Structure 1
Amino acid sequence: MDSRDCALELLVMLVYVAAWLCALATTLLPHWLTVSTSLLPVESYGLGLWETCVVQDVGVTECRAYDSLLGLPSYLKLARVLMCTSLAVGALGMLVAVPGLYLVAGCGGLGGSRTKRTLMVTGGVLGVISGVLCLIPVSYMAHLAVANFFDDKVPDMVPRWEFGDALFCGWTGGFLLVVAGLLLVSSCRCSQVEPQPAALQRRYQVMSTDVSFRKRSEYV
């Protein structure tokens, strides 16, 4: 492979890792949705997958984990499952794709090149799946916030949930996971032309020399 292709391949893997870390941060952040009230302007509340938090204007944050798993709303349970699955699939994709990098030694020969391409494609597909699994719960939570915010049945004085930092982090991580996966799959086209092994090259040189010698002998 060309050195520029190898550098691009390495850059895509770095984006892959950064996107996975964004998805991890999204899963752990307690501010998927936020709300502030006019009655208590010095406090705001955050809703996460694992806990709820109260943030005071002086910078003090108090969080409390959910008491019961069975008592959670269905959308929180679904978001937990999808985000954890996204992290697992993304981590598996990285583990599969790293041995397929052409900067990583091993798997020599023609069969090794095909194996590396297979690993790269598999890692890219897993990255795309991980990104989609990350985008689904983030987008659904945003949809719920928008639907409740513009619900005419809710009085104006009732506090409304709004987008938290975790949603923007999740959108970024999910989008980058999809992009990194697609780039890994498309980068395999750069390795379609497989170099001949040294033994085949030497054999070809010997055959070419023998043919040229025979031609000169016939002319003589």
Structure 2
Amino acid sequence: IDMDSCGCALELLGMLVYVVGWLCALATALLPQWLTMSTALMPAESYGLGLWETCVVQDLGVMECRSYDSLLGLPGYLKLARVLMCTSLAAGLLGALVAAPGLHLVNSCGAGAGGSRAKGALTATGGVLGVVSGVLCLIPVSHMAHLAVVHFFDDTVPDMVPRWEFGEALFCGWAGGFLLVAAGLLLVSSCWRSRAEPRPAPQGRYRVMSAAEEASSRKRSEYV
């Protein structure tokens, strides 16, 4: 299968960004600092809220975490974030496994036009799954950030009451989501590029046609 270096570079770049984005999404799901809070009464301690546990961090670097006691007792936004993040990780892992055999540097699907179409379909499917995974990662992260902003600027809450602020996991989730979307678009664009690339005509046929045209031109000159 012939493919220019630009198309191969797009595929390799897409897979590299794909892996980095998926690892960022995995770290986002595991980090307990989706939201952080520190109080003026106890400045030596800060609190972190995650999908699976809550943590208390002290200035000395000691962190104590406690898992949630009940799944049914969780707020709705935490349940939704859990489901969407797990679905995002599953879709991203499936997309990477599907797109890897579709790379032109990997020998799979056989040779010929049928093999080229199969590899292109695998690459495109992996790219679409990457975009879906990125969107599913961005939804809970952005929703959690929206809730934090709404509660932070709530006028009904007294000023002395501590408020939740953005944690490291939110920024990691935004980075992972955008990287997954970008990686999916790169893989899909590399597939379109390989399909749109014109194939050169066989040299033998070109020579036969040139000889026939030369003979016809000689005949015309003789008649004249």
Is TM > 0.5 for Structure 1 vs Structure 2? yes
Q: CA deviation at 1:124?
A: 0.9
Name 1:15's counterpart in structure 2.
17
Residues 22 and 89 in structure 2, CA contact (< 8 A), matched pair in contact too: yes
Match of 1:71 among 70, 73, 78: 73
Residues 110 and 194 in structure 1, CA contact (< 8 A), matched pair in contact too: no
1:170 aligns with 2:154: no
Query: TM (normalized to structure 2)?
Result: 0.88
Q: CA deviation at 1:215?
A: 7.2
Q: CA deviation at 1:166?
A: 0.1
**Distance 1:160-1:123 versus aligned 2 partners, 3 A rule:** same
Q: Name the aligned partner's letter for residue 204 of structure 2.
A: Q
Residues 10 and 186 in structure 2, CA contact (< 8 A), matched pair in contact too: no
Q: 1:27 and 1:138 mapped to 2: Cα distance? A: 10
Structure 2 gap ranges (5+) = 220-224
Q: 2:104 and 2:28 mapped to 1: Cα distance? A: 31
1:87 aligns with 2:67: no
Query: SS at 2:47's partner residue?
Result: strand
Q: 2:41 and 2:156 mapped to 1: Cα distance? A: 21
Q: 1:209 and 1:83 mapped to 2: Cα distance? A: 61
**Distance 1:191-1:153 versus aligned 2 partners, 3 A rule:** same
Residues 23 and 87 in structure 1, CA contact (< 8 A), matched pair in contact too: yes
Q: 2:20 and 2:173 mapped to 1: Cα distance? A: 12
Query: SS at 2:106's partner residue?
Result: coil
Q: 2:45 and 2:108 mapped to 1: Cα distance? A: 57
CA deviation profile, 1:168-187 (whole Å, cap 9, x unmatched): 00000001111111111111
Q: Mapping of 1:89-104 within 5 angstroms?
A: 89-104=91-106
1:126 aligns with 2:125: no
Structure 1 gap ranges (5+) = none
1:189 aligns with 2:188: no
| C-alpha RMSD of the superposition | 2.3
CA deviation profile, 1:125-146 (whole Å, cap 9, x unmatched): 1111101000000000000000
Name 1:155's counterpart in structure 2.
158
Number of residue-to-residue matches in the alignment: 215
Name 1:205's counterpart in structure 2.
204
Residues 7 and 194 in structure 2, CA contact (< 8 A), matched pair in contact too: no
Q: 1:191 and 1:128 mapped to 2: Cα distance? A: 20
Q: CA deviation at 1:66?
A: 0.6
Query: SS at 2:83's partner residue?
Result: helix
Give the percent of matched residue pairs that are identical in Structure 1 and Structure 2: 71
Higher alpha-carbon deviation: 178-187 or 75-84: 178-187
